[in-house]
Structure 1
Amino acid sequence: MSLGGLSPAQPATPEIQAIADQVKYQLEAKLNQAFNLFKAIEFRTQVVAGTNYFIKVQYAEDKYAHLRVFQGLSNDNLTLQGYQLNHTRTDPITYF
């Protein structure tokens, strides 16, 4: 991985699920919609002045979202920086 580039996709870990869970309410607030299902499937990371997490999350039977979550160097605050809805399970996670 080059500096600032995205890591290879990896299966989601419990840590990544915890990150997704922490920003779930931010997505729900933006969309004015609640999600019963919110399961992290895979992720990629990008090291910047902190870390960008690109996480594929299943939110309905055949629907997946890609989330971009930022965590700064000096704190544990997680911010939902962007999202894309209506992906499939096989859609690759790319930078957005």
Structure 2
Amino acid sequence: MMCGAPSATQPATAEIQAIADKVKSQLEEKENKTFPVFKAVEFKSQVVAGRNLFIKVQVDDDDFVHLRVFESLPHENKPLTLSSYQTNKSRHDELTYF
């Protein structure tokens, strides 16, 4: 993967689901609602001074959100941050930088 360029879209892994689960409460707080369904479907990653993860998450039968999560470098020992998100997405909406 080239530094700075997002990777190709890949199916979500257990690691990506765990990351999505860790920022779920941040999204629920910002949206002022709970998401009983929160299933990571696919993702892209971007190497920066750490890593940006763009994650498509299913939150209802046909309702998705796109998350941008920042993971700092290991030596910084900082928590995952929900940097940005987009709501009202569909299964077919492409993950892009936002």
Q: Sort the TM-score into its range (normalised by shorter chain).
A: over 0.9
Which residue number in structure 1 is paired with residue 69 of structure 2? 69
Moved >6 Å (runs of 4+): none
Q: Who is 2:14 aligned against?
A: 14
Residues 81-92 of structure 1 mapped to structure 2, 5 A cutoff: 81-92=83-94
Structure 2: which 5+ residue stretches go unaligned? none
Counterpart amino acid of residue 78 in structure 1: L
Report the counterpart of residue 36 of structure 2 in structure 1.
Answer: 36
Give the aligned residue type for 1:8: A
Aligned with 1:57: secondary structure? strand
CA-CA distance at 1:27 after TM superposition: 0.2
Cα distance between partner residues in 2 of 1:84 and 1:38: 14
The alignment partner of 1:28 has SS state of: helix
Give TM-score, length-normalised by structure 1.
0.96
Q: For the aligned residues, what is the CA RMSD? A: 0.9
Report the count of equivalent residues: 96
Query: What is the TM-score when the length of structure 2 is the normalising length?
Result: 0.94
Question: Could you give the per-residue CA deviations for residues 19-67 of structure 1, whole angstroms, max 9, x where no partner exists?
Answer: 0000000000001100100000000000000000000000011011000
Identity of aligned residues (%): 59
How far the C-alpha of 1:3 sits from its partner, in A, is 2.3
Residue 95 of structure 1 and its aligned partner are, at CA, apart by 0.1
| Structure 1: unaligned runs, 5 residues or longer | none
Counterpart of 2:77, as a letter, is N
